[in-house]
Amino acid sequence: MSRSAPTHCPYCALQCAMTLTPTDAANPASPPVTVAGRDFPTNRGGLCKKGWTSAELLRAPSRLGAPLLRGADGALHEASWDEALDHVARSLRGIRALHGADAVGVFGGGGLTNEKAYLLGKFARLALGTSRIDYNGRYCMSSAAAAGNRAFGVDRGLPFPLEDLDGAATILLLGTNVAETMPPFIGHLAGAQAAGGLVVVDPRRTATARLTDEGQGLHVQPVPGTDLALLLGLIHVVIAERLVDAEYVAQRTTGFESLRRSVASWWPERVQSTTGVPALTLRRLARRLASGEGTYILTGRGVEQHVDGTDTATAAINLALLLGLPGRPGSGYGTLTGQGNGQGGREHGQKCDQLPGYRKIVDPEARAHVARVWGVEPDAIPGPGVPAVELLQSLGMPGGVRSLLVHGSNLVVSSPNVAAVREGLDRLDLLVVCDFFLSETAALADVVLPITQWAEEEGTMTNLEGRVIRRRRAIAPPAGVRDELWILAELARRLECTATFDTDPELVFEELRLASEGGIADYSGIDYAMLDRGEAAYWPYPRGSAGTPRLFADRFAHPDGRAKLVAVTVRASAHPAPQPGELTLVTGRLLEHYQSGAQTRRVPELDAAQPEALAALHPSTADRLGIADGDDVEVANTRGTVRCRARVTTDIRPDAVFLPFHYADAQAANLLTSDAVDPISSMPEFKTNLVRVTRVARLTEAGVPT
C-alpha cells in the first residue's frame, strides 16, 4: 500500500485533517507513515505537537502484538487469538449463568469510531444481554449534553460550523483552554481578539487567557467553583439593564418570568463577594456581550465537570438565549467537545440510557425501531443501565458487575477516586481490556486484546461541529492485532448470538444509518461515497436532505419549537469553602499530552517536554507553605496522596493548586477527585476538590532525606 491517505488526527474532537503517506523506511522502529497537515475548515492545514507526532505510536516498541492471558503464576503471557477469545467467551457464559446478564459490564470510549461505538452497544445488549454499559464520555460531555437537551431539545456540541466564529466580534470562553487542548482552534478566535472582544473565564492564567493580553480582551479569574454564581450575576445585569433581546425571548423561548425571579438576588456586588470578580467587570462584560456585533458563548469542561455542572451549563445557555444568540446568523452558543469522537460516541448506543440515533432506551417507539433493524423483538433489548461512576462502584460487589470489558478507556488514570476504582477492578472475576499498549488498566486485566490504531482502519468520526468525517486506512496493521469489529463479531459468535455483527466498517455504517433514521441524531442521508467525495455532512442528515450545518435557525427541537429558559440556583453544598490550610484542586490538560496520557507519554518528544506532573502554586501560597520551586510536595486529602514537584507561578490563584491529569500511579491527579456526581448528568466532581499541600523531603539514591 503506497498511496497517500487523507484522514484525520487521532486525538481531540477538532479532528484536524491530515495526509498520511506510507514510507519505505527499512528501520522497523521508524514511523511507517509521514504526516502532513491537510486543508480543512477546522485546522486549515495546521496541526499541534500531538498531531505532528501521532505516527510515532504506530510502531512503538511497547505496542502489543499478541493477546495476553493471565496465567496461574499471576503474570500475563502471550496467547493465540482462539485461546484468548475462547477463554473470554467461556468465562462470560459462566458469570452470566451464576449471576445474571447484568453481572457483565461494558465500558466504552469517546475515541472509538462511530462504527465501533454502534456495534459495541449492540453487542452489549444482544450478545451479552446486559444493560450495564456506559463510557468515558460520561466524564467529558454529560453535563453539557444534559443542559443542551433540556434547553434546546437536542445535544450537538457546536450547532454551527466552526468557521462561523471567524466573523465574531465577541467570544466568551468559559472554562476551556483551547490554546493547549486544540491549538489550531485559536485561529478562529483572531477576529474577536483583534476587536478586543475575546473574553476568557478561568481561575488559571492559561495560554488561552494570555491571548487577551495587551488590550486584546478580558481575562476573568473567578474563585474556583463559582462559575454558576458568575453566570447568574451576568444574567441579573442583562435583565436589570434591559439588555435582553425581548422580541427573541418572547417569540422563541419559554420560562422567562421564572428565570427573572431566580436571579433577582444575584446583584453584581453580591457576585463580587462570592466570585472575586469586580462588579464593574461584571457590568462591562454583560454590556459587551449584548453589543449586538456578533457574539458567541462557548463552554468547556472547566465549568461542566462539577456536581452542579448541568446547572452551570444551563445558566450559560440562559444567558445566550436572553441575548438572542442561538440560531441567529453571526452569533450562537456551543460547547467544545473534547474527545476525538465524543460527539458521535454518545449518539449511537454506548450510553447506558440511549439507543442509536440518540434515542431514549425507555421510549417504546425507539425500541421498536431499533429492534426491527437488529432483527429482534423489542423485549430482547435490555432497559436502561447505570452511568459510569455507579457502574464502577458496583464492580465485584453483591448484585453488581462481576466482569468488565473495557474499550478505549484507561480507567485507573481517568476515573474519579481511582484508588476505589482499582479496588473494584481487583474484585472482578474477569477483566478484559482492548488496547494498543499495556496501559495502567490493561496491566490489571485477565485478558488483553491488541487492537488496530487509527491509521490502520476505516471508519467515521463525528467532530465537535456535528460533522461526520472519514477515517481512512493508510497502512496494514501488524500481523498480531485485530480490529474491534472483528473481535466483537467473534465473541458474539462464540456466545451463540444470532444477530448480525458485520466486520466491514462500511456495512456497519449502513446498519447504523438505518438504526439512526428518524432519531435526533439522524445519519440516514450520509454514506461513505459522499464522505469520500468530501461533501460536508452535519447531522441531523435525514435521507433526501442536505444536512443541517446550523441548528435552530427556525425552531428548537422541543415539540413547541421553543427553547426552555430553566431557572437554576447555587447550592452551597456543591462546593464547600476551603478550611484553613486547604486549597482548591484544579485539574486540566497540558499542550503535549492527551487524556490519560496512555498514548502521548509513549511519544519521546512529548514525554521529554512534560515528563512529570507538577503542582502549580501561587508564589504567596508557596511562601506561606515553605515551598520553593522544584521542591517535592504531597498533595493530599482523605481519598489519596499525589507526590510530585512544585512549580511556583503567578498563573494560578493563591487559593488553588493545579495538577494535570495525564499521569499515572503516584502522580495520578484523580487519586484526589471525588466520585460524587451531578444529580442530572452523573458527571463526577473533577475540578474543585479540597486538598492540603506540604513540602516533603527528597530522598537521595541511598534513601536518605535531603
Kindly state the cell numbers that stand for 393: 462502584
Q: What distance in Å separates the CA atoms of residue 255 and residue 563, rounded to the nearest whole number?
A: 9
Distances (CA, A) of 102 to 45, 133, 378, 470: 46, 9, 18, 34
pLDDT for the residue 260? 98
User: Going by C-beta distance under 8 Å and a sequence separation of 6 or more, which residues neighbour residue 309?
Assistant: 142, 143, 144, 303, 678, 681, 683
The residues facing 677 across adjacent strands are 684
Q: Is the pLDDT of residue 706 over 80?
A: no
DSSP state, residue 124: I
pLDDT for the residue 16? 97
φ, ψ for residue 190, nearest 5 deg: -60, -40
pLDDT in tens, 399-440: 999 999 999 999 999 999 999 999 999 999 999 999 999 999
Q: Are strands 583-588 and 656-660 parallel, antiparallel or unpaired?
A: parallel
pLDDT for the residue 2? 57
pLDDT for the residue 703? 46
What is the chain's length?
706
pLDDT in tens, 580-636: 999 999 999 999 999 999 999 999 999 999 999 999 999 999 999 999 999 999 999
The residues facing 433 across adjacent strands are 406, 448
Rounded to 10 degrees, the C-alpha dihedral 314/319/322/328 comes to -90
CA nearest to 128, candidates 430, 472, 417, 392: 430
pLDDT for the residue 131? 98
User: Going by C-beta distance under 8 Å and a sequence separation of 6 or more, which residues neighbour residue 478?
Assistant: 63, 65
Q: What distance in Å separates the CA atoms of residue 600 and residue 142, rounded to the nearest whole number?
A: 25
Mean pLDDT confidence for 61-86:
97
pLDDT in tens, 9-31: 999 999 999 999 999 766 666 78
Identify the band that residue 702 occupies on the pLDDT scale cut at 50, 70 and 90.
very low
pLDDT for the residue 237? 98
The residues facing 298 across adjacent strands are 173, 334
Q: What is the DSSP string of 423-443?
A: HHHHH-SEEEEEESB--TTGG
Q: Are strands 354-355 and 359-360 parallel, antiparallel or unpaired?
A: antiparallel
Q: Is the pLDDT of residue 648 over 80?
A: yes
pLDDT for the residue 705? 55
Number of H helices, E strands in the chain: 23, 29
Q: Is the peptide bond before 540 cis (omega within 30 degrees of 0)?
A: yes
Reported in sequence order, the residue ranges of 92-164 that DSSP labels E, i.e. its strands, are 104-108, 133-135
CA nearest to 687, candidates 305, 181, 317: 305
Q: Is the pLDDT of residue 455 over 90?
A: yes
pLDDT for the residue 296? 98
Kindly state the cell numbers that stand for 579: 478550611
CA 85, 89, 94, 98 torsion: positive or negative?
positive
Alpha helices in 241-339 (DSSP H): 246-252, 256-262, 268-275, 279-289, 301-304, 309-322
Q: Is the pLDDT of residue 1 over 50?
A: no
pLDDT in tens, 383-403: 999 999 999 999 999 999 999
Please name each of the domains of the chain with its CATH number.
68-139+341-532 (3.40.50.740), 142-335 (3.40.228.10), 583-695 (2.40.40.20)
Q: What distance in Å separates the CA atoms of residue 293 and residue 376, rounded to the nearest whole number?
A: 54
pLDDT in tens, 271-292: 999 999 999 999 999 999 999 8
Kindly state the cell numbers that stand for 275: 466570585
The helix (run of H) or strand (run of E) holding residue 193 is helix 190-194
Burial of 683 (0-12, 13-18, 19+ CB in 10 A): buried
Kindly state the cell numbers that stand for 36: 502532513
Q: What distance in Å separates the CA atoms of residue 590 and residue 200, rounded to the nearest whole number?
A: 17
Q: What distance in Å separates the CA atoms of residue 167 and residue 170, rounded to the nearest whole number?
A: 9
- Yes or no: say if 678 and 304 are a contact pair by the CB < 8 Å rule: no
Residue type, 54: S
> Quick one: what percent of the chain has pLDDT higher than 70?
98
pLDDT for the residue 679? 96
CA nearest to 211, candidates 179, 170, 185: 179
pLDDT for the residue 572? 84
Kindly state the cell numbers that stand for 324: 438572542
Rounded to 10 degrees, the C-alpha dihedral 238/241/243/245 comes to 90
CA nearest to 450, candidates 477, 474, 415, 475: 477
Q: What is the mean pLDDT of the chain?
A: 95
> Quick one: what percent of the chain has pLDDT higher than 90?
94
Q: What distance in Å separates the CA atoms of residue 683 and residue 671, rounded to the nearest whole number?
A: 17
Q: Is the pLDDT of residue 126 over 80?
A: yes
Identify the band that residue 52 occupies on the pLDDT scale cut at 50, 70 and 90.
very high
Q: Is the pLDDT of residue 169 over 60?
A: yes
pLDDT for the residue 26? 62
φ, ψ for residue 124, nearest 5 deg: -60, -45
pLDDT in tens, 554-581: 999 999 999 999 999 999 888 888 999 9
User: Would you call 636 helix, strand, or coil by DSSP?
Assistant: strand
pLDDT in tens, 205-242: 999 999 999 888 999 999 999 999 999 999 999 999 99
- Yes or no: say if 412 and 380 are a contact pair by the CB < 8 Å rule: no
The 332-335 sheet, strands edge to edge = 217-220, 198-201, 170-174, 295-299, 332-335
